[in-house]
Structure 1
Amino acid sequence: MSTEVRVPTLGESVTEATVATWFKKPGDSVAVDEMLCELETDKVTVEVPSPVAGKLAELVAAEGDTVGVDALLATIAEHGDAGPEEVTPKGEEKSGQKPEQKSAPAKAEAQSVDIMVPTLGESVTEATVSTWFKKTGDKVEADEMLCELETDKVSVEVPAPAAGVLGEILAKEGDTVEAGGKLATMSRGGEGQPDSVAAGTPETTEHPGGRGDQGGKDVEDAPSAKKLMAEKGVSRDDVTATGKDGRVMKEDVLNALSSGAKASSSPAPAPRAPAPAADADREERVKMTRLRQTIAKRLKDSQNTAAMLTTYNEVDMTEVMALRNEYKDLFQKKHGVKLGFMSFFTKACVHALKEVPEVNAEIDGTDVVYKNFVHMGIAAGTPTGLVVPVIRDADAMSFATIEKSIAEMGAKARDGKLSMAEMQGGTFTISNGGVYGSLMSSPILNPPQSGILGMHKIQDRPMAINGKVEIRPMMYLALSYDHRIVDGKGAVTFLVRVKEALEDPRRLLMDL
């Protein structure tokens, strides 16, 4: 009996992944829950375990292929199943076969691959096929552009999911197609046909800068690692590989960057747009990472969807800083974690969200969904882009638990080890641009949330206190909110309550 291995659910708003590494090859025996391969999304790395014990029969998706949720990755022949063909031990003869007869070598069969309409964006359900760049029978390379679709918002290019030959074109130029519909078919592999990496066949072509050599064996580095090395100008020689057979993983590149790896003296050349000769040698073109593409798309979608508005206030940080300085040593001694400002801001936001619940709600169609809990998103910068890990049930946490959770999530974010579950379900977000020196900014909403608080740099400023000018440590606060659900009164009230709680932290203890 054969068992299929499919792409697992990748998480909220994530519809595709790249096959980064196969840990097994066809013919290898596998145990239940043994890791078969690793997928990379624009947010995290996902490991795919074996659902059964048996023998890996066929790899359907090769390393570097882009696959959708529930796509077929491989098949496993369970123990006791000889597979599609009976294997005859060397020297033995099948019944009825003469000794002098030799089986003809099996011909590689072409694999049919569907070319589908990609996700077109929020609220966009259909598109028009504007141009086909290829015709039936043309050979195509993986990621080569096949056609262009036009929606009422943007143009969408459709790349080839693998190398092969374009088959039947089902949607002609001018046809209207729905999201998820089939555009065409193509054949991948097979005798005389190109293939990105034939299933079950190790790739032997040397790729400059992308392979290591472990005892004469070629090893393909993880695609995300190669991309990051190219972006950051890091030489492979400066990276310590920890992957299987000496494979460089994305984590290894991040570790090399954090330890101060030198940029490669000869980075991979990047394609250039036409430019004056005097400027051409001073330009560099680098393809956006999938994480950066997703960040760009989500932020733009947020602007296009929400009626976003920002209100501002300022907070005198004198009392919080005094309280922190008084108890920070005792706090760290007892709880084993430093007392920072984020726990105060988290507590203050939780306090304010209880009074103004619409800031902690979201719109679902024509409904408003109020959350009777606070899953606090804490925006964090990483070497590859912005991520927002979520502190779940922050409203039920102590200062110490909040600080420990933030420290743990921050470390995972920097190391690229956040799981999808740890970045989902947030109801409100705090973004601290002050750590980078920002004095004032307007944060963008993290959809489908309706509010985000922007913290900024603490700066001494002259303030009028009881008729006298005093120098006080001041911070500007910014609350961006979705005006479709949050009125101006509610937004201003929320920010005032945060200000009051921080200027007199005793209010947090007494729930005032």
Structure 2
Amino acid sequence: MSTLQEIRVPDIGDYKEVDIIEVLVSPGESVVDGQSLVVVETDKASIEIPAAQAGVIKTLNVVVGDKISEGSLIAMMEVAAAPGMANPVTAPLPEPAPAAVTLSVEPPAQPVEHAPVVASPLAQELTEAKGELPFASPSIRKLARELGVPLTEIRGTGVRGRISRADVESFIKRVMTGQAQTEAQKANTPAAGGGLSGLLPWPQVDFTRFGPVERQDLSRIKKISGANLHRNWVMIPHVTNHEDADITELEAFRVQLNKEHEKAGVKVTLLALLMKTCAVALKKFPGFNASLDGEQIVLKQYFHIGFAADTPNGLVVPVIRDVDQKGVIAIAREMAQLSAKARDGKLGPAEMSGGCFSISSLGGIGGTYFTPIINAPEVAILGVGKSSTRLVWNGKEGVPRLILPLSLSWDHRVIDGAAAGRFNAFVAQSLADFRRLML
């Protein structure tokens, strides 16, 4: 015997009204336990929602473009009754009615040439709502607030003038290229000015005039992360301090650890040791374990650290929680698991949220010093370059030492130069002598 069961959206963190960007199954299709049904897109990454058990999809209640939250109905599934379960119903299942889509669906917007969503000084030019409130979903309003886009000045292309994400992106592109102006810009830009006050319009170039070209669409992750990075760079007054850390003894310690734990299948990386070092540094300098909230600074009592992970689709930042309470081996094991999930595109929202501080390591690729962009609402990020052997004068002679270049970017609204110098120096000294972390 079989029964019909509802498939609803499980807990996806604090996200609400997220967009369905792919539907992976169709009515009549048999699915197995754990098979992905739909893909949704948050402001951090794409998430696949799986089936909780095996069965046959009878009806689909969502389509691409729908917005869903925890508890939303995705589909009806026919599943086999458990063995031995009494079921007085012997008649065959009734033919299901056509799937009723109960969520609001936005029809495709008019074709527009998409550009990456970019934040800009538009965030300082929000205009007041004029009369009737624009027709837009909560997620679109949140997007507009983050990017500083005045919804009252956007003409929606959806049903009843509903504003879609494509409408917001198109508006931003037209403003950035000088094809349109906000009301604030019209009031402040000289007659001969460009799209933004004091700036020339973005150059429009036919690249094919100079030779053959190939166009590629940005991945979803790059579109989302690009908008966040641009906003953070424009809105946060970045300052970057550079420091060198002598990790000669630390590297020997790391190699020894890996020999001792080789059978356990755990590989301790330099990044795991950096994680532990930064957790201690954040405790010693609480201003770096903070966020700016209006005219208040939020000092966090927990120590969750994110690390930039390179994936085929772009950069993501998994977060390891309570680093201060974990040993280096546990940190290394968890980091390996999160890195694997990141490469497979399987990270969930909870695994990429709640970070207090981030580390961006290019050591496996190359390079020395750089300016990492702060991952708002954090106030600092540590960039790590590739270590190299240098001759260091010890007072009598030059001796070979393994040197690790560090680049600390910090938010000057919250942190001053003296604190940043001390933080960077503490990290470098702790890496040079790992025993300091026990003091």
Q: Deviations over 1:91-144 (max 9, x none)?
A: xxxxxxxxxxxxxxx9x99x984575432141636334366789999xxxx998
Looking at structure 2, the residues matched to 336 and 77 of structure 1 have their Cα atoms a distance apart, in angstroms, of: 40
Any unmatched runs of 5+ in structure 1? Answer: 81-85, 90-105, 158-173, 177-272
1:4, distance to aligned residue in structure 2 (A)? 8.7
RCO comparison, higher one (Cα < 8 Å, 6+):
2
How many matched pairs? Answer: 363
Query: Would the aligned equivalents of 1:360 and 1:450 in 2 still touch at CA under 8 Å?
Result: yes
In the alignment, what sits opposite 1:47? 49
In the alignment, what sits opposite 2:62? 61
- Provide closer, same or farther for how the CA distance between residues 155 and 366 of structure 1 changes in structure 2, counting only shifts above 3 A: farther
Looking at structure 2, the residues matched to 292 and 420 of structure 1 have their Cα atoms a distance apart, in angstroms, of: 17
In the alignment, what sits opposite 1:427? 356
1:11, distance to aligned residue in structure 2 (A)? 4.7
Looking at structure 1, the residues matched to 213 and 224 of structure 2 have their Cα atoms a distance apart, in angstroms, of: 24
- Is 2:218 aligned against 1:288? yes
Q: Deviations over 1:452-480 (max 9, x none)?
A: 11111111222222242222211111111
In the alignment, what sits opposite 2:227? 297
Looking at structure 2, the residues matched to 365 and 346 of structure 1 have their Cα atoms a distance apart, in angstroms, of: 29
1:498, distance to aligned residue in structure 2 (A)? 0.7
Looking at structure 2, the residues matched to 14 and 300 of structure 1 have their Cα atoms a distance apart, in angstroms, of: 24
Residue 409 of structure 1 aligns to a residue whose secondary structure is helix
- Provide closer, same or farther for how the CA distance between residues 477 and 87 of structure 1 changes in structure 2, counting only shifts above 3 A: closer
Looking at structure 2, the residues matched to 406 and 341 of structure 1 have their Cα atoms a distance apart, in angstroms, of: 12
In the alignment, what sits opposite 1:264? none
Residue 254 of structure 2 aligns to a residue whose secondary structure is helix
Looking at structure 1, the residues matched to 219 and 146 of structure 2 have their Cα atoms a distance apart, in angstroms, of: 21
Query: Would the aligned equivalents of 1:360 and 1:371 in 2 still touch at CA under 8 Å?
Result: yes
Q: Deviations over 1:301-359 (max 9, x none)?
A: 111222221111101111112222344311324x4312321222112111111110110
Looking at structure 1, the residues matched to 431 and 169 of structure 2 have their Cα atoms a distance apart, in angstroms, of: 55
In the alignment, what sits opposite 1:404? 333
Query: Would the aligned equivalents of 1:132 and 1:147 in 2 still touch at CA under 8 Å?
Result: no
In the alignment, what sits opposite 1:37? 37
Query: Structure 2: which amino acid aligns with 1:21?
Result: V
**Aligned 1:448-459 pairs, distance under 5 A:** 448-459=377-388
Residue 362 of structure 1 aligns to a residue whose secondary structure is strand
Looking at structure 2, the residues matched to 150 and 56 of structure 1 have their Cα atoms a distance apart, in angstroms, of: 42
In the alignment, what sits opposite 1:322? 252
Looking at structure 1, the residues matched to 149 and 176 of structure 2 have their Cα atoms a distance apart, in angstroms, of: 13
Deviates more, 1:11-20 or 1:308-317: 11-20
1:419, distance to aligned residue in structure 2 (A)? 1.4
Looking at structure 2, the residues matched to 88 and 415 of structure 1 have their Cα atoms a distance apart, in angstroms, of: 38
Match of 1:484 among 390, 394, 413: 413
Looking at structure 1, the residues matched to 157 and 254 of structure 2 have their Cα atoms a distance apart, in angstroms, of: 63
Deviates more, 1:115-124 or 1:318-327: 115-124
1:430, distance to aligned residue in structure 2 (A)? 1.1
Query: Structure 1: which amino acid aligns with 2:227?
Result: K
Match of 1:369 among 285, 298, 306: 298
Query: Would the aligned equivalents of 2:37 and 2:49 in 1 still touch at CA under 8 Å?
Result: yes
Query: Structure 2: which amino acid aligns with 1:500?
Result: Q
Q: Which structure would you say has the larger Rg?
A: 1
- Provide closer, same or farther for how the CA distance between residues 505 and 56 of structure 1 changes in structure 2, counting only shifts above 3 A: same
**Aligned 1:45-194 pairs, distance under 5 A:** 45-47=47-49, 59-62=60-63, 64-65=64-65, 67=67, 69=69, 74=74, 113=105, 116-117=135-136, 118=140, 119-122=143-146, 124=148, 126-129=150-153, 149=171
- Provide closer, same or farther for how the CA distance between residues 151 and 462 of structure 1 changes in structure 2, counting only shifts above 3 A: same
Structure with a larger share of its residues in helix = 2
Structure with a larger share of its residues in strand = 1
Match of 2:397 among 462, 468, 483: 468
Query: Structure 1: which amino acid aligns with 2:245?
Result: V
Query: Would the aligned equivalents of 2:308 and 2:318 in 1 still touch at CA under 8 Å?
Result: yes
Looking at structure 2, the residues matched to 354 and 418 of structure 1 have their Cα atoms a distance apart, in angstroms, of: 28
Looking at structure 1, the residues matched to 174 and 207 of structure 2 have their Cα atoms a distance apart, in angstroms, of: 31
1:484, distance to aligned residue in structure 2 (A)? 1.4
In the alignment, what sits opposite 2:18? 16
Q: CA RMSD in A?
A: 4.5
1:495, distance to aligned residue in structure 2 (A)? 0.9
Match of 1:360 among 285, 289, 292: 289
Q: Deviations over 1:403-461 (max 9, x none)?
A: 11111111111222211111111111111111110211111111111111111111122
- Provide closer, same or farther for how the CA distance between residues 388 and 55 of structure 1 changes in structure 2, counting only shifts above 3 A: closer
In the alignment, what sits opposite 1:436? 365
- Provide closer, same or farther for how the CA distance between residues 293 and 11 of structure 1 changes in structure 2, counting only shifts above 3 A: farther
Looking at structure 2, the residues matched to 148 and 315 of structure 1 have their Cα atoms a distance apart, in angstroms, of: 46
1:23, distance to aligned residue in structure 2 (A)? 3.4
Looking at structure 2, the residues matched to 275 and 343 of structure 1 have their Cα atoms a distance apart, in angstroms, of: 45
Looking at structure 1, the residues matched to 294 and 168 of structure 2 have their Cα atoms a distance apart, in angstroms, of: 35
Looking at structure 2, the residues matched to 376 and 473 of structure 1 have their Cα atoms a distance apart, in angstroms, of: 25
Looking at structure 2, the residues matched to 393 and 134 of structure 1 have their Cα atoms a distance apart, in angstroms, of: 44
- Provide closer, same or farther for how the CA distance between residues 47 and 406 of structure 1 changes in structure 2, counting only shifts above 3 A: same
**Aligned 1:210-289 pairs, distance under 5 A:** 274-276=206-208, 279=211, 282-289=212-219
**TM-score of the superposition, structure 2-length normalised?**
0.68
Looking at structure 2, the residues matched to 422 and 135 of structure 1 have their Cα atoms a distance apart, in angstroms, of: 36
Q: Deviations over 1:187-222 (max 9, x none)?
A: xxxxxxxxxxxxxxxxxxxxxxxxxxxxxxxxxxxx
- Is 2:269 aligned against 1:340? yes
- Provide closer, same or farther for how the CA distance between residues 147 and 129 of structure 1 changes in structure 2, counting only shifts above 3 A: farther
Match of 1:313 among 243, 252, 270: 243
Looking at structure 1, the residues matched to 316 and 371 of structure 2 have their Cα atoms a distance apart, in angstroms, of: 18
Residue 382 of structure 2 aligns to a residue whose secondary structure is strand
In the alignment, what sits opposite 1:501? 430
